Structure 1
Amino acid sequence: MNNTHFSHAGRSFNLIRYPANHQHKSLQAWDSADELLMSHCDDTLQDDARLMIFNDDFGALGCWYAHNQPLWISDSWIAHRSLQENLNANGLTCDISDTGRVSSPVNALTSVDALSVTPTTVIIKIPRTLALLEQQLIDLRRCISADTQLVAAGKVKAITRSVLALFEKYIGPTTTSLAKKKARLIFCTPSEPLPTVKSSPFPTRWTARLATGQSVSVANHANVFSRQSLDIGARFMLEHMRVENTDKVIDLGCGNGVLGLNALSMAPQCHVTFVDESFMALASAHQNVAENFPDKLEQCRFEPSNCLETLLNEPDHNSYTKVLCNPPFHQQNTITDHIAWQMFHDSRELLVKGGHLIVVANRHLDYHVKLKRLFGGVKVLASQQKFVILSAAKR
């Protein structure tokens, strides 16, 4: 049975990691850092507090503080869906905005939305990517006051000197609590005036050479995988991709969209759908198409989704001919292969008969066995010492 019953300080919730049917029985939707934040903030938070919550992995904090009607910010589509499911499951019926996100009792924003409210209290879960934390602190500088209280939390191993230095650099004096259950709190007091800093270092940029020889400038927002350079797996994939003008392509887990850019360069008439669960990734991909292939924007879509769930809910979903994928092997701070497995399942369902899933991955992950079991066969398109490119056709 899944570990979904959360009880703390006399209150109880049923909490899942979205999607519930893929949640491993050993994983839960909260951690000791959440509990530390709740214990501390319950003692200090006023009923009329203007509360902001950042990086709530699966909506535990959003449910706990729903009565405060907080502004809730996450870059993760899965976190947004978890928040919605968990609010509804615990009798906190929520309203959904035109963008498909919760608007009440929690007002859920993405990491690329502007912050317009001056909070009295800010709660931050330390994210896996320090660049995301840095951008969020930069965003907070524009709306906090000298009276705003900032409280952050994470596992002890996540509270590094680099993390504390970011709070000091952008906000002000920073201290930590003692460790409890392998988690720790961070307290930060805004300086008046705030520390002087240069403009945001994000998005970062570098130049990539595509398979056609074309060079493109690639912009990367703070939470994009391989933000500082083209990752080795993607580079290997660029060399071995084959795309036709008649193809309807999905760049799955698109990141900055470099595989989709390569497809547009190779086959100028193809259609590309960029899919990622990170809103910053989709913003990066959109910017990169707009800047490098402005005349191709009408041939492109940019969809936030848990794997290919969003597309599978559309009536004409099985019309795609190629899915290009460089799968992740972690979710937040948990190493897992269930995301890749769901990506493969969704791709098989979405593809036309004869369509191909093309995967680049570390050899040691042994995706060859999974794809053979799922598709009935798999071909090795290319291999090297570290990476392999696999192709599986829908029969």
Structure 2
Amino acid sequence: MNRLTTSQGGLDLARFPEDPRDPFRAWDAADEYLLRRLEGPEGDEPVDLTGEVAVVGDRWGALATALAGHRPVQITDSYLAQRATLANLARNGAAPDSVRMLSARDTPPERIDVLLVRVPKSLALLEDQLRRLAPAVHAGTVVIATGMVKEIHTSTLKLFERIIGPTRTSLAVKKARLIFCTPDPALPRTPSPWPYHYDLPDDVGAVSGLTVTNHAGIFCAERLDIGTRFFLKHLPGRTGPDHVVDLGCGNGVVGTSAALANPDASVTFIDESYQAVASAEATFRANTGADAKADFLVGDGLADVPPGSVDLVLTNPPFHSHQAVTDATARTMFHGARAALRPGGELWVVGNRHLGYHTQLRRTFGNCSTVAGDPKFVVLRAVKR
């Protein structure tokens, strides 16, 4: 836990789930820069926050917690960001309902007077969010976005310009930058171009031609990533009434492939991204029969899955947390899988060879075998003894 100091006082903030070993803070210089600008530094007028304030893409709830006295609406694609916000509100004595939480899939407010945007890594997600929010923006809306310099590109500015109105940027401070956008009500309000659909290529075996649905912001939304392509060629050929979990499901192509290969299996798709779970459900429905059943969960990994209830976990763990490279998510997934699996149950993992997941799997499960590998990727198997 760390302390963020603002003109309103100090805030104790942590990521979720809180881990004392986590070296990363729940905010960065971009969040600090935006909060200072709202307060009106160096002769600038403070931003009037008496109307409807919307905070979009708040990563760990730092912005929403700092603005809780203004009862903002937080819009995020991340379940973990929502949980972090609730935990940070509680740490700082704010009521949980002081921030109204909406997912990226929910209907946005009808009117927004102050729109604050934390620029996401995905330009597609930013476009989807701005197009969904644009009808709520009016000529008097204050629009300010923030991000680290490396996150803000010419394409980012053009997107604000095309969807909201004239755009300019601030000077960089501590490698962070602000984006100021003046709403132009005359701009056409066109719908988001997402979701995007494509068919699997011919070189992925039995599931070639499967139709994949991708909502904005999910990993490799415009094409099949090469790691998943490799995984699809080496999925376990199990049959019978297994309970299979596609963990960190993304667009759901792995779990859908497992369901098609084993119609008697019960498949659960899990991701912390609302956009991902919506994509997985659309992919599953488009490629299975009307009677096919599956569960779709937005959550913190396997935390809500009963212990000892799963036969097979399939996963391609992310190794980035926003801009930071970390194996913390993979470690959490591996420990969660061991708890959720029945004795004899299996965890199958695909990952870049250089990440060395075999070491962590042996530490967690006491065993690890290599199913397949090439110069870049490896598929690993661990069994719960």
- Quickly name the TM-score band, shorter chain normalised: over 0.9
Q: Does 1:247 align with 2:253?
A: no
Partner of 1:205: 197
Closer/same/farther in 2, CA of residues 33 and 172 from structure 1, 3 Å limit = same
Task: Verify the 8 A CA contact 1:211 1:262 in the aligned structure 2.
Answer: no
The offset of 1:153, in angstroms, is 0.5
Name the CA distance, whole Å, in 2 between partners of 1:214 and 1:39.
52
Identity %: 40
Cα distance in 2 between the residues matched to 1:267 and 1:157: 44
Residue 305 of structure 1 corresponds to: 299
Confirm or deny: 8 A CA contact 2:244 2:311 kept in the other structure.
yes
- Is residue 217 of structure 1 aligned with residue 211 of structure 2? yes
Letter in 2 for 1:246: P
Match of 2:77 in 1: 75
**Displacement, 1:5?**
1.5
CA distance in 2, matches of 1:226, 1:151: 28
Select the residue among 178, 181, 204 that pairs with 1:188.
Answer: 181
Aligned residues of 2:315 and 2:348 also touching (Cα < 8 A)? yes
Q: Which runs of 5+ in 2 are unaligned?
A: 41-45
The C-alpha deviation readout for 1:39-85, integer Å capped at 9, x for no partner, is 11123332522100001110011111111111110101110000010
Q: Does 1:384 align with 2:382?
A: no
CA drift of 1:180 comes to 0.9
What are the residue-to-residue correspondences of 1:14-163 with 2, within 5 Å? 14-21=12-19, 24=22, 26-43=23-40, 44-94=46-96, 104-163=97-156
Instruction: Please tell me whether the aligned partners of residues 244 and 265 of structure 2 are also in contact (alpha carbons under 8 angstroms).
Output: yes
TM-score, reference length from structure 2 = 0.95
SS of corresponding position for 2:137: coil
**By how many angstroms is 1:93 displaced?**
2.4
Change (3 A) 1:14 1:294: farther
Distance in 2 (alpha carbons) for counterparts of 1:31 and 1:220 = 30
Cα distance in 2, alignment partners of residues 91 and 192 from structure 1: 39
Q: Is the Cα–Cα contact under 8 Å of residues 308 and 346 in structure 1 kept in the other structure?
A: yes
The Cα shift of 1:296 comes to 4.7
Q: Deviations over 1:148-207 (max 9, x none)?
A: 11100001111110100100111110001111111111000111312x475422111110
More displaced, 363-372 or 199-208?
Answer: 199-208
Query: How many positions carry a matched residue from both structures?
Result: 377
| Greater mean deviation of Cα atoms: 346-355 or 200-209 | 200-209
What residue is the counterpart of 1:101 in the other structure? none
SS in 2 for 1:200: coil
Question: Structure 1: how far apart are the matches of 2:247 and 2:278?
Answer: 15
Question: 1:124, 1:200 → 2: CA distance?
Answer: 17
Residue 192 and residue 257 in structure 1: after superposition, are their counterparts in 2 closer, same or farther (change >3 A)?
same
Deviations along 1:6-60, whole A, 9 cap, x unmatched? 2122511110000112651x21111111111111112333252210000111001
The amino acid that maps onto 1:45 is V
CA contact (8 A) 1:22 1:338 kept: no
- Which residue is equivalent to 1:274? 269
Q: Which whole-Å deviations, capped at 9, do the CAs of 1:113-160 have from their partners, x for residues lacking one?
A: 111331111000011111111111101112111111110000111111
Q: Do the aligned partners of residues 213 and 32 (structure 1) sit closer, same or farther apart at CA in structure 2, a change above 3 Å counting?
A: closer
Structure 2 counterpart SS, 1:35: helix
1:178 aligned to 2:171?
yes
Which ranges in structure 1 are unaligned for 5 or more consecutive residues? 95-103
Specify whether residues 268 and 211 from structure 1 end up closer, same or farther in structure 2 by C-alpha distance, changes over 3 A only: farther
Give every structure 1 segment of 4 or more consecutive aligned residues whose post-TM-superposition deviation is greater than 6 Å: none
1:290/1:231 CA distance change after superposition, 3 Å: same
- Give the letter for the 1:378 counterpart: C
1:12 maps to a residue whose letter is G
**2:43 counterpart residue number:** none
In the alignment, what sits opposite 1:100?
none
Aligned with 2:64: secondary structure?
Answer: helix
Measure the CA separation in 1 of the matches of 2:315 and 2:115: 36
How has the CA–CA distance of structure 1 residues 47 and 238 changed in structure 2, closer, same or farther, with 3 Å as cutoff? closer
Deviations 1:278-323 (A, max 9, x none): 00000001111122214255x2111112221222xxxx43110000
- Give the match's secondary structure for 2:136: coil
TM-score scaled to structure 1, two decimals?
A: 0.92
Which amino acid counterpart does residue 355 of structure 1 have in structure 2? G
AA partner of residue 299 (structure 2): S
Counterpart-to-counterpart distance in 2, 1:344 and 1:180? 39
| Structure-1 separation of matches of 2:189 and 2:136 | 16
Give the whole-Å Cα distance in 1 for the aligned partners of 2:105 and 2:342: 34
Considering only aligned residues, what root-mean-square deviation do their CA atoms show, in Å? 1.5
Structure 1 residues 168 and 120: alpha-carbon distance in aligned structure 2, compared to 1, 3 A threshold = same
**Counterpart for residue 372 of structure 1:** 362
8 Å Cα contact 1:246-1:270 kept in structure 2: yes
Q: Secondary structure at the match of 2:280?
A: helix
How far 1:213 sits from its partner (Å)? 4.5
**AA in 2 matched with 1:267:** N
